[in-house]
Amino acid sequence: MTELAAVKAALTSQAVETPSWAYGNSGTRFKVFTQPGVPRTPQEKLDDAAKVHEFTGAAPTVALHIPWDTVDDYAALARHARDRGLTLGAINSNTFQDDDFRLGSVCHPEPAVRRKAVDHLLACVDIMDATGSRDLKLWFADGTNYPGQDDIHERQDRLAEALATVYGRLGEGQRMLLEYKFFEPAFYATDVPDWGTAYAHCLELGPRAQVVVDTGHHAPGTNIEFIVATLLRRSKLGGFDFNSRFYADDDLMVGAADPFQLFRIMYEVVRGGGLTDGVAFMLDQCHNIEAKIPAIIRSVMNVQEATAKALLVDRHALAAAQRSGDVLEANAVLMDAYNTDVRPLLTEVREEQGLDGDPMGAYRRSGWAEKTAAERVGGQQAGWGA
């Protein structure tokens, strides 16, 4: 295979998972804006996700959030997805919207509350069995607001115990992905604040527990690509929650604020073998002021562009420059790839797959936005950012 053919093959096989909650109405803590044509049911969210896949050819799976996407029959929901060329992706648990979880969920001081949280996580694994989902994605809002509020050490023990119970319930081929976030909603001590804490728990659990890197969950200036390289080196990178941020957990379109950072991350993914290693490339975004489906299409394209640039890095030239200590040349090799306009290449890749080379235009021309705006009245809130 020529080098160009290998790059094209890698781009064709890359899949980006879109989140069900990105299709619903969302906002900030100040205001949820409603948009015309927004889905009213989990099924309609899948109908919209199918459009993203139809025009990009690169978004075949959809993550669910429980209980936001509660249905009576999950196997039927999986069939609804399959009928539209999709499969159901990660099941995201939610232990942060119940009064009982005021002081935490799996780290709560009371055993009965911890049990309730663990029962929810086990129910999520039941859902995975019905949907055929591979990944259980865990993000805990647990933490404390004041020094002395609870015992930090003991909260880690409670967390480890809960994770071990759920890990033991995973079926063949299922994984547990543990997400970290440095602050919010807790402000003094978050129980899973960083990749190191998540990594330590995953290491203790076993090979099917891996870390999720949400790109919005770091302090400003954090070198996220270093974290990616470190986790990949130990086969502990389960996936990404992609989004972009200017300040904190902004949940804006991936690659919008800092496309160079996304390129640096994708370079480490390519370098570490993450493109073929089961790493899940998920979006975790909300589109509060922009039209949702085109924003998700744009996000998928942004991931593809960063990946294409990362694949174009001349690894031999880079290694030679690095070995000879040629700092400027090494940097130039990387920047050459970053500064390449990969849009014509991606247009070609799409056309070779029988797709329109311009996914944004193709979606606009499809009339889906007008059709859903006329047909759907009373769209569902995403559940997040309310």
User: Which residues lie near Mn ion (CB under 5 A)?
Assistant: 214, 241, 249, 284
Which residue's C-beta sits nearest to Mn ion?
241
- Which residue in 51, 181, 208, 292 binds ligand PSV (CB under 6 A)? 181
Q: Which does 92 bind (CB under 5 to 8 A by kind): Mn ion, ligand PSV, none?
A: ligand PSV
Cis geometry, peptide bond prior to residue 111 (ω within 30 degrees of 0): no
Percentage helix, strand, coil for the chain under 3-state DSSP, each rounded to 5: 50, 15, 40
Q: 29 forms bridges with which residues in the sheet?
A: none
Instruction: Please state, in angstroms and rounded to a whole number, the distance separating the CA atoms of residues 277 and 68.
Output: 30
Q: How far is the CB of 212 from Mn ion (least distance, A)?
A: 7
305 binds, among ligand PSV, Mn ion, none (CB under 5 to 8 A by kind): none
Residue from the set 284, 306, 312, 330 that interacts with ligand PSV by CB under 6 A: 284
Measure the CA–CA gap between 329 and 319, rounded to whole angstroms: 10
Q: Judge contact between 230 and 192, C-beta under 8 A.
A: no
376 binding ligand PSV? (CB under 6 A): no
Distance in Å, CB of 31 to ligand PSV, minimum: 18
Sequence-distant (6+) residues with CB within 8 A of 316 are none
The residue with tokens 């073929």 is 276
Max Cα distance, the chain (Å): 64
Q: What would the two tokens of residue 18 be? A: 């879109």
By Cβ distance, which residue is nearest to ligand PSV?
Answer: 139
- Residues in region 333-362 near ligand PSV by CB under 6 A: none
Of the pair 157, 184, the CB lying nearest ligand PSV is at 184
Determine, following the binding rule CB under 6 A, whether residue 69 of this chain makes contact with ligand PSV. Answer: no
Tell me the C-alpha distance between 339 and 327, whole Å.
18
Pairing of strands 61-65, 87-92: parallel
Q: Are 218 and 250 in contact (CB under 8 A)?
A: no
Site for ligand PSV (CB under 6 A): which residue of 69, 241, 268, 356? 241
Least Å distance between CB 19 and ligand PSV?
7
384 binds, among Mn ion, ligand PSV, none (CB under 5 to 8 A by kind): ligand PSV
Residue 359 CB, shortest distance to ligand PSV, in Å, is 25
Count residues near ligand PSV (CB under 6 A): 9
Q: How far is Cα 281 from Cα 243, in angstroms, rounded to an integer?
A: 11
Residue 92 in the binding site for ligand PSV (CB under 6 A)? yes
Residue ranges in 72-177 assigned as alpha helix (H): 74-83, 111-131, 152-169
Q: Is 179 in the site for ligand PSV (CB under 6 A)?
A: yes
Residue of the chain from 139, 140, 267, 281 that contacts ligand PSV (CB under 6 A) = 139
Shortest distance in whole angstroms from residue 265 CB to Mn ion: 15
Residue 44's binding partner, choosing from Mn ion, ligand PSV, none, with beta-carbon cut-off 5 to 8 A by kind? none
Rule CB under 6 A: is residue 142 a binding residue for ligand PSV?
no
Q: Closest by alpha carbon to 372, among 31, 43, 11?
A: 43
The one among 44, 142, 150, 214 contacting ligand PSV by CB under 6 A: 214
Residue 52 or residue 90: which is nearer to Mn ion going by CB?
90
- How far is Cα 147 from Cα 102, in angstroms, rounded to an integer? 16
Q: Judged by CB, which is closer to ligand PSV: 17, or 214?
A: 214
DSSP 225-241: HHHHHHHHHTT-EEEEE
Dihedral in degrees, nearest 10, Cα atoms 123, 125, 126, 131: 130
- 191 is an interface residue for ligand PSV by CB under 6 A: no
Binding site for ligand PSV (CB under 6 A): 92, 139, 179, 181, 214, 241, 249, 284, 384
